[in-house]
Amino acid sequence: MATPFPSSPWVQADQPQPQLSDLELAQALASRLAIKSEQWHQLNRNRRLRAQEQLAAALVFLLKDQPEEALLRVEQAAGWLNRTLTAPPCPSHGHPQASPGEP
């Protein structure tokens, strides 16, 4: 049986492949590509990274048989790439919050 992507540069036939399910591999990738909280302010507006993060999440949802959730993530990734989506300001750095009782 032929491999699905024989000429693919990321498939190394001579290296042992871990015995993880497709879902486990996708979850590991999504975890690896997620922006960590300590890097959030530095990277949250990086369009390439945000698209990668969303596409990895989409793959996880697709493998979990949740196509609607996967499609939402794909659309968000497209928004990051085509510049129709922007990051909202950080709640802790946005407009000052009004005190209780103030309009």
pLDDT of residue 93: 62
Is the pLDDT assigned to residue 9 strictly greater than 80? no
Is the pLDDT assigned to residue 95 strictly greater than 60? no
Nearest-CA neighbor of 26 among 58, 74, 73? 58
Which of the pair, 75 or 14, is modelled with greater confidence?
Answer: 75
Nearest-CA neighbor of 22 among 59, 69, 73, 76? 59
Dump pLDDT digits (tens) for 15-51.
666 689 999 999 999 999 999 989 988 999 999 999 9
* pTM exceeding 0.75: no
Nearest-CA neighbor of 55 among 70, 45, 40? 70
pLDDT of residue 24: 95
